Amino acid sequence: MTSFLDLPADSGFGLHNLPYGVFSTADDPAKRVGVRLGDTVVDLAYLETHGLIAVPGAGRAPVFHGTLNAFMALGRGAWDSVRGRLQDLLSADGPDDFRASETHRASGMHPLEEVTMHLPAEIGDYTDFYSSRQHATNVGTMFRGPENALMPNWLHLPVGYHGRASSVVLSGTEVVRPKGQQKPDDGAPVFGPSKLLDIELELGFFVGPGNELGSPIPIEDAREHIFGFVLVNDWSARDIQKWEYVPLGPFLGKSFATSISPWVVPTAALNPFRVAGEAQDASAGNPEPLPYLRQSGERSLDIELAVKLKTAQMDEAETVARSNARYLYWSPEQQLAHHTVNGCNARPGDLMASGTISGETEDSYGSFLELTWRGTRPIQLPSGETRTFLADGDSVVLAGEAVRDGVRISFGEVEGTIAPAR
């Protein structure tokens, strides 16, 4: 597929991708939905208003004026129909409805640098999982020793916790260093700014139609409820987390900020990048999941991920880790099936994240906790500085892309800069 726009051959935002986002412009502050094509944002609210796209099942209600929630709720049939129509409209040899009209192109397309991006959905609930086996093993080894690295339940179910939806923020939002209680090894608890501020490299997905309360989503249907994916940085205050997490798990050490990328890559765009993933049976020495979690076909996604760090003294960000979403043991579909198996209702726009993604090599770990092994192996930076955890003024950028057979699907980036505690 070739766009009528002059895009580089290796553009990660071509017709094979068409990620969705929510934006506004200086002359129209109303939030509406767009898709990214190269460095251009195509205004779906404009196309909808002028009859250039129709959304099956929407009736007369506008779908693209506001956030993505209404579109997410309509399901796979509507998503595929709109995606196909957009690929036709925006292709070099497609119909003349849009590309041949100077009026439509002038009003329905905006340079990326002239738009303001917003959160893509009204996020009612946010859940964070713990689905990378290597990450769980690393953390367990640090705190419990290698003989007891994985907890007894880890290979039987996708472990997770309910996060804080109100503090999910868009890429570029400043992250204020949190305060909280910390427990020194040799003293009483103290209160103050976190000294061990960290990141977590994650992949998140938005729920589509969801399920009614009391009616689980079967594993074989779970993919039909996954609208698309974003990059997630679940910022973590390790010292606050360490003192508070027993017995009920993460709380203030996590709830101060979770950053996501602005563009939601459709599930359909990632289908060519599915891979088998680690075997979940005796052939790999693993217990077979209970029936409600058994997933056929290719469970994992081959998405290359990177962690970049830029301090106040550096001119350019330095890549400190490279990982891949294929390292996840539990798939997004398994996460969603487990989340709802007790009858919990997932709703359009709910965000679910994978947990930190770490590979088997030290340069593929997805957190500074692991990269520096609890601060004992400082990262050397080109500026001559070292880092174990994050300092005020540090910026962290997570990036992701899937590449295969000449097709590149980019997630863009999610960035956050640390501001001093208030």
- Report how far Cα 390 is from the mean position of its chain's Cα atoms: 21
Is 411 in a helix, a strand, or coil?
strand
CA atoms within 13 A on the CB side of 271: 10
DSSP assignment of 222-247 equals: GGGGEEEEEEEEE-EEHHHHHHH-TT
- Give me 129's structure tokens: 């999982």
- The rounded distance, in Å, linking the Cα atoms of 350 and 204 is 10
Dihedral of the alpha carbons of 201, 113, 16, 351, in degrees to the nearest 10: 40
Length of the chain counted residue by residue: 422
Q: Is 135 a catalytic residue?
A: yes
Q: Which of 232, 261, 366 is nearest to 309 (CA)?
A: 366
In degrees, rounded to 5, the angle at the alpha carbon of residue 274 between the alpha carbons of residues 298 and 276 is: 35
Omega prior to 289 cis, within 30 of 0: no
Alpha-carbon distances of 276 from 310, 324, 331, 375, 395, rounded to whole Å: 35, 13, 10, 34, 34
**Neighbouring-strand partners of residue 36:** 41
Beta-sheet pairing, 160-162 with 126-129: antiparallel
CA dist 87 → 84, 208, 419 (Å): 5, 21, 41
User: What are the structure tokens assigned to 314, written together?
Assistant: 């550096």
Catalytic residue among 104, 135, 225, 339: 135
Structure tokens at 248: 């009920």
Compute the C-alpha angle 74/78/83, nearest 5°.
Answer: 135
Letter for the amino acid at 88? D
Active site residues per annotation: 135
